[in-house]
Amino acid sequence: MNPPLKVLIAASEAVPFAKTGGLADVAGVLPRHLAQLGCDVRLVLPRYYRIDKAKLSLTRLPGVLSVFMGVLGNQYGAVYEGRMPGCDVPVYFIEHEGYFGRDGLYEVNGEAYADNDLRFTFFSKACLELCRLLDFSPDLIHVHDWHTAVIPVLLNTVYSRDPHVGRAASLLTVHNLQHQGWAFKGLMDVLGIGWKHFNYLELEMNDQVNLLKGGLYHATRICTVSEGYAREIQTPEYGEGLDGVLRDCAWKLSGILNGVDYSEWNPETDPHLAANYSAADLRGKARCKKDLQKLFGLPARPKVPLIGLVSRLVKQKGIDVLAAAMPRILSLDLQFVLVGNGEPWSHFYFGDIAIAHPQKFACFIGYDDVRAHKVEAGADFFLMPSRFEPCGLNQMYSLRYGTPPIVRATGGLDDSVENFEPATRRGTGFKFGDLTPGALFDTIGWAVHTYYNDPKGMAALIQNGMAQRFSWEEAARRYLELYLRTVAPRVGW
C-alpha cells in the first residue's frame, strides 16, 4: 500500500477563519474531505489581524520563518498552528505584522492595498519555508488563484533543489481569472528568481509582472472550478487576456465542479430559518417566506413570486445588467429581496429603488450570513445573472432549498442548472444566454408566468432541484484522482 499522499494547500482565505467569497468555502471544506480519503493534508493561511489567536486557541510554533525577499532582504514570519473545526487537519497561520496586521484581506474601503504583490509574494515564499520548519515534504502543493500562483514558479526555480519541496508537484486552481496579480516589474528583484524569467511565456505581460500567468506556465497541472469555465477561459471572450496562454496549457487544464457543504446548507437542519422543511414536507418553506417578507418590511403576500439575490455587487455578477432591467422587472407583480455589497454606485442605485418601491423591493447592503440563509429559503426564485461564473455556489444552495435558480448560462451556472422544459416538466431552473436587460427580463417573466400559471410545473421544478446533490465527497474524490495524475510523473506513483 502506498503511504498517504502528502498535500499542502496554500490559500489566501478559508472558512471559518477568513472569507470574502467562494474561494474560502472551497479551501475550508476540501481539506476535511481529502483527509477522509486518507491524505495527509495541511492548510496554510495568512494570519490576518481579525483571526483571533486566543479564541481559536492557536499555538505558536517554535522558530521563525526567514523569507528571502530579494532586494528587500530577509523578512521574518511567525507560525501559529490550529485545527480545522470538526477534524484533525492542521492549519498553519503565517504571521507578519507589516503585511497582515490590517483590517481587510485585500482591500480597505474598496481600494486594493498597494502592496498586495509584496504581501502575497511573502506569503507564498513563507509557505515553502514552512515545510522546512515543519520538516514536511509534500508530494503536491495545491495553490489557489493569483495570491499563491507564484509558488509553482518558485518550485521550478529557486526551490527546485530544496530538500523539502524540490520534488513537490503543483496544482493551480483558478477560481477567478479576472484577478491576476499584476505588479510593477521591479517585483522580479523581490522574487529573486532572476530576470530571465521575465519573458512573454512566464511572468511578463505588457511589460509588467503577472503572477497568475507565471503560475499557469509553471504549475504541473491547472484546474478550474467547473468544466464549462475550463473551456470558456480558452476563448477571447472569457480569457481576460490569458486565453492564448490557457490554450497552450490545454493539455494540463481540467475542471472540477465545487461541492456544497450540506452540513451548513440544508433546509432540514438550517438553524437560521423560521422553520425547517424537506422535499417531502414543504410547509416550512411558506413560513420562511413570511419571515423573509417581515424581516425586509415587504407586505406579507404568500402568493406573490419572490425573487432573491445574494451576491457581491460587482460587474462579474451582471449587476449592471440587472440595474438596467430593474424598472421593467418591477412592472411585474412580484417581490424582490437583494443582499449584497460591492461597487458603491450599486448601493445607491438599489437603495433608491427600495425607497421608491417599498411594496416590491427591499435590500440589505452589506455582508450577512444569516440573511443569506433566509433568502435561500424564503424566496421562490434565486437570481444569478452573471457575466461569468467560474462555479457559483448560491445556485447550488438554492436548488437544495427548493428555490429554482434563474441564471445566465455560463460557466458553473450552465453546468449545474438544467433548463426547465414545461412540456416534460424536466429541469431545475431558468436559463438565458444573452447578457442583456431584455433577455434577463424575459427570463424573469417566464419564471413569474410559470409561478402564476403552471403550479404543476413549479412543483416539479422544486422537487427536481431538491433532489440534486453536489457533494464534496464526489468533488474531493475527483481532486484526489487529479492529485495522483499530477504527482505521477514526479514521484513515480
Part in contact with ligand ADP (CB under 6 A); list of ranges 42-50, 205-213, 286-294, 334-342: 334-342
**Does residue 312 touch ligand ADP according to CB under 6 A?**
yes
Cα(483)–Cα(72) distance, integer angstroms: 35
Is 393 a binder of ligand ADP (CB under 6 A)? yes
Would you state the cell numbers that stand for residue 112, as one nine-digit string? 486594493
The three three-digit cell numbers of residue 62, written as one number: 517554535
Map residue 446 onto helix, strand or coil. helix
Closer CB to ligand ADP, residue 25 or residue 270?
A: 25
Query: Site for ligand ADP (CB under 6 A): which residue of 291, 368, 442, 474?
Result: 368
What gap in Å lies between CA 315 and CA 133, rounded to an integer? 42
Q: Tell me the C-alpha to C-alpha distance, in Å, between residue 402 and each of 287, 317, 445, 460.
A: 14, 22, 19, 10
Closest CA to 40 of 3, 92, 87, 81: 3
Q: According to the binding rule CB under 6 A, does residue 224 interact with ligand ADP?
A: no
304 binds, among ligand GLC, ligand ADP, none (CB under 5 to 8 A by kind): none
Q: Does 367 bind ligand ADP (CB under 6 A)?
A: yes
> In the complex, what is the shortest distance from the CB of residue 384 to ligand ADP, in angstroms, rounded to a whole number?
8
Residue found by looking up cell 498586495 in the block = 116
> Strand locations in 121-239, DSSP E?
140-144, 169-174, 182-183, 204-205, 208-210, 221-224
Decide: is 310 part of the binding site for ligand ADP (CB under 6 A): yes
Which residues in this chain contact ligand GLC in the complex, by CB under 6 A? 21-23, 26, 175-176, 225, 258, 389-393, 412
Nearer to ligand ADP (CB atom), residue 41 or residue 393: 393
Instruction: Pick out residues in 344-363 that bind ligand ADP (CB under 6 A).
Output: none
Give 3-state DSSP helix, strand, coil % of the chain, rounded to 5: 40, 20, 40
Least spacing, CB of residue 329 vs ligand GLC, in Å = 23
Smallest distance, ligand ADP to C-beta of residue 374, A: 10
* Residue 311 binding target from ligand ADP, ligand GLC, none, CB below 5 to 8 Å by type: ligand ADP
Does 318 help bind ligand ADP (rule: CB under 6 A)? no
Which residue's beta carbon is nearest to the bound ligand ADP?
Answer: 22
Length of the chain: 493
Q: Is 394 in the site for ligand ADP (CB under 6 A)?
A: yes
Query: Can you tell me the distance from the alpha carbon of 445 to that of 453, in angstroms, rounded to the nearest whole number?
Result: 12
Minimum Å gap between C-beta 134 and ligand GLC is 27
Q: Does 105 bind ligand ADP (CB under 6 A)?
A: no
- Return the DSSP state at 2: P
Q: Is 21 in the site for ligand ADP (CB under 6 A)?
A: yes
Stretch of 81-89, 213-221, 305-313, 344-352 lying at the interface with ligand ADP (CB under 6 A): 305-313
Q: Which of 27, 94, 326, 339 binds ligand ADP (CB under 6 A)?
A: 339
Q: Binding to ligand ADP by residue 474, rule CB under 6 A?
A: no
Helix 211-218, helix 116-134: angle, nearest 10: 40
Distance CA 54, CA 454 (A): 55
Q: How far is the CB of 55 from ligand ADP (least distance, A)?
A: 21
Residues 486 and 493: their CA atoms lie apart, in Å, by: 10
Task: Give CA–CA dist 269/281, Å, rounded.
Answer: 13
Q: Could you tell me the CA-to-CA distances from 452 to 117, 361, 377 in Å, in that order?
A: 52, 19, 19
- Burial of residue 5 (number of CB atoms within 10 Å: 0-12, 13-18, 19+): buried
Integer Cα distance of 50 and 148 in angstroms: 20
- Residue 80 or 397 having the CB closest to ligand ADP: 397
CA distances (Å), origin 397, targets 327, 381, 382, 419, 478: 28, 12, 10, 17, 21
Contact range with ligand ADP by CB under 6 A, out of 279-287, 348-356, 388-396, 484-492: 388-396
**From the list ligand ADP, ligand GLC, none, which binds 372 (C-beta under 5 to 8 Å, kind-based)?**
ligand ADP
Shortest CB 291 distance to ligand GLC, Å: 27
Closest CA to 104 of 161, 163, 169, 51: 51
Q: How far is the CB of 312 from ligand ADP (least distance, A)?
A: 5
- Report the interface residues with ligand ADP, using CB under 6 A: 21-22, 25, 310-312, 339-341, 367-369, 372, 391-394
